[in-house]
A and B are shown apart, each in its own frame.
Chain A
Amino acid sequence: MNVNIKIKLFATLRALTPETAEHYSIPTGTTVHALLEQLKVPVEEVNLVFINGNCGNLTSILEGGDRLSVFPSLGGG
């Protein structure tokens, strides 16, 4: 069964945003990691994952209606 999620890729990852990012179809039980691989987002460049405004990570399982935001490593120190 498939569900729809919303995807936002930020900063240097933005270019990899899929056409149907506003209502992207994924099978139930897809992890963030699996989705990013599908989108050809280099997972090692991902530093922050937010799902519905809460901090998640690569192993988080996505559910229908989720809003996924993904941020690259651009910090400092």
Chain B
Amino acid sequence: MPYGYNGKILHVNLTDLNFEIEIPEDIFYRKYIGGSGLAAYYLLKNIGPGVDPLGPENILIFTGSVVTGAPFSGFSRYTVAAKSPLTGGFGESEAGGYFGPELKFSGFDAVVIKGKAPKPVYLWINNGRVELKDAEAVWGLGNAETLDKIREEVGDDKARIASIGPAGERMVLFANVMNELAHANGRCGLGAVMGSKHLKAIACRGDAKHLEFADAERVKKLVSWHNQRIKEHLPNQNLRKYGTPMFVVGLNKAGILPTRNWRESVFEGAEKIGVPSYEKILKRNATCYRCAVGCKRVVETAEPYFVSPRYGGPEYETLAAFGSLCGIDDLGAVAKANELCNHNGLDTIGTGSVVAFAMECFENGVLTAADADGQKILFGDADGMLWLVDKIANREGLGDLLAQGVKRAAQKMGDKAQAYAFTIKGQEIPLHDPRGKTGIGLSFALSPTGADHVETPHDTIFVGDAVKLLAPLGILDPVDPLALDEAKVRFFKQGQLSWGLNNVLGICNFVDAPLFALSYEKLVEAVNAITGWETSLWELLRATERSEVMAKIFNNREGFGSEDDRLFRRLHEPIPAGPLKGQRIDPEQMKKAIQLYYEMMGWDEQGRPLPAKLHDLSLGWLMETESDGYPR
């Protein structure tokens, strides 16, 4: 058996209810490694352009990487990917928790799923044995009930389960995949794809001892080093103490907390939904497989918004999406919204965004009380917000319209609604204001999956001496968060590779360089100790670039062009108040920066990777089909 991984890919055909096992050569793993790279490979190989994302021809992939499941803090993440029903392009989302390692232990590096089951099923992978089981008893249940019932059915309370809730079953376009009730493959509507296939869950069970490492002693030493550094490293200790909720007050103080559907960037209620107010509901912290950081939150609240600790507490994006973005400063209500989303399997960014959109529509008469059972739901209306979340999950009334996402809902509602509808590539926007960090503007515009706040490390960190953290990537001059010049594009390109590598390897951004405990040097040592590859950061970043080009080509095949790499209206308008009052992103400057990025990447002015770039990355095989538009 290879070191670190199984050498086996499970292919499941849900239409015929059968499966087969692929045993790729080692060179395949070395080229694509895992995560977003492996996912892009299978998507490009298995579906042509124009496939219905909610039809049986779409492919759904769950994949770790060659290092997933090794006992390092943060090496627990995995990718879910498919053609996205929200964007019509490359859909990809990562999650932590415990599912990723268990999938590896259960005997497979990835599961590639096609077709549609005639009746709801779930996949049970038990120490190498694969079964498709009847899911009638759990179809319709929330994620907690599903977890409990499947564990009972398979007779193993240590089975790890990734599932969709009722929202995914009903194909809400921003439905997610949850694992262990607190970890979400949130974005791109992957839960809807899973629901469209009548696949309720994947349960797996294996034995960690089943994995072999090239140098087990070195692995132990590096794990020890890493965990010791995590204990001493301030950014990691802050995450342990405060979790991502700590960003709420920080971003608000900096004047870039998206508020009331992006109309403002400072929220008067920020202190009430951030740290230390969060301590009032915090029970304890929690973590992912083997991770010494422990950044996850467990919360409990009382009436009127009773929240069970089972579902995990709200993280930063959720606090902002249901808090400042909706003008709500009631932490209990926001925690309740988080619980509803996790129970039903809804992306909190997407759901909060569509609620905020609806609120602004109500404010401006585009929606009226008649649309919502006699209530006008305005910014700040916590009960109205929760009512809407419930309607969306159940696709009832106004909820059915909003379940299609901001873009499609606005299209159906008419011209007046468009003024308040903000999406990029058809997907709602994460809760970071690029007008205070233009690198995030480039992330939002250029990410192939639609606006993504984890495309590249955030500019604001690398000012002054802190730029030293980026020196191993060749970025030596302090970053200016507000500049959108060639230095910023250079910073973005390297940062995109750095965090992109984490998506390929299934490593959490919160344990890794540039900001957190694992240095680039030790990262490479870890990969070598696990796999025995004698690789380098160079090779790993090349594999990352390979994954970026594959994702771009997937989108290009679907008809995406440079016009899709853009921001949205409000970001080109000046921030109205606060420390960054007046700050805006000039659209011409953004266009120039994007063109420069294309050139740096070896793409043409339409964002099409040139043939030389494909050959550079051993992707010449992608030019073999006519639909790419490449000269034969």
Contacts and interface: CB of A to CB of B under 8 A. Distances in A.
B244 A77 contact: yes
Contact of A77 (B316, B466, B579): B316
B355 to A, nearest CB: 22
A53 B469 CA distance: 10
Contact of A73 (B233, B247, B317, B465): B247
B465 A12 contact: no
A76 B432 contact: yes
Nearest to B237: A57
Given A69-B465, A73-B246, A57 B251 contact: no
Contacts of A48: 234-235, 461, 466, 515
A49 interface: yes
A76 B440 contact: yes
A44 interface: yes
Contacts of B232: 57
Contacts of B276: 44
B250 A8 contact: no
A74 B234 contact: no
Interface residues of B, number: 39
B254 A11 contact: yes
Contacts of A8: 464-465
Interface string B389-429: 00000000000000000000000000000000000000000
Contacts of B454: 76-77
B250 A74 contact: yes
Given A11-B254, A72-B250, A76-B458, A67 B235 contact: no
Given A72-B250, A76-B247, A10 B463 contact: yes
Nearest to A59: B232
A61 interface: no
B510 interface: yes
Contact of A74 (B315, B460, B468): B460
Contacts of A24: none
B247 A57 contact: no
Nearest to B256: A74
B509 interface: yes
Given A44-B275, A47-B234, A74 B464 contact: no
A74 to B, nearest CB: 4
A75 B465 contact: no
B250 A12 contact: yes
A45 B481 CA distance: 19
B83 interface: no
B453 interface: yes
Contacts of A11: 254, 460, 463
Contacts of B579: 12
Contacts of A58: 234
A54 B471 CA distance: 12
B495 to A, nearest CB: 12
A69 B468 CA distance: 12
Interface residues of A, number: 25
A74 B316 contact: no
Interface in A18-77: 44-50, 53-55, 57-58, 67, 69, 71-77
Interface centre among B251, B315, B432, B461 (most CB of A within 10 A): B461
5 contacts: A44-B242, A54-B468, A75-B515, A77-B244, A77-B316
A74 B466 contact: no
Contacts of A72: 250, 253-254
A75 B453 contact: no
B453 A77 contact: yes
A39 B192 CA distance: 52
Nearest to B463: A10
A26 B235 CA distance: 25
Given A67-B465, A77-B510, 16 more contacts: A8-B464, A10-B464, A10-B466, A44-B238, A44-B275, A45-B249, A47-B234, A47-B238, A55-B233, A72-B253, A74-B247, A74-B250, A75-B247, A76-B247, A76-B454, A77-B244
Contacts of B432: 76
A44 B249 CA distance: 11
B453 A74 contact: no
A77 B233 CA distance: 18
A53 B468 contact: yes
Contacts of B253: 12, 72
Contacts of B469: 55
A77 B458 CA distance: 9
Contacts of B468: 50, 53-55
Given A46-B234, A47-B234, A48-B234, A73 B464 contact: no
A50 B254 contact: no
Contacts of B466: 10, 48, 50, 69, 71
Question: Nearest 3 pairs between A and B by C-beta?
Answer: A50-B465, A74-B460, A69-B465
Contacts of A57: 232-234, 237
A69 B465 CA distance: 7
Contacts of B233: 55, 57
A73 to B, nearest CB: 4
A57 to B, nearest CB: 4
B492 to A, nearest CB: 14
Contacts of A46: 234
Among A10, A46, A67, A77, chain B packs the most CB atoms within 10 A around the CB of: A77
Contacts of A55: 233, 468-469
B244 A47 contact: no
Output the residue of B233, B316, B453, B466 with the most chain A CB within 10 A. B466
Given A45-B250, A57-B233, A58-B234, A76 B464 contact: no
A46 B509 CA distance: 19
Interface in B443-463: 453-454, 457-458, 460-461, 463
Contacts of A71: 461, 463-464, 466
A11 B458 CA distance: 14
Contacts of B315: 77
B297 to A, nearest CB: 13
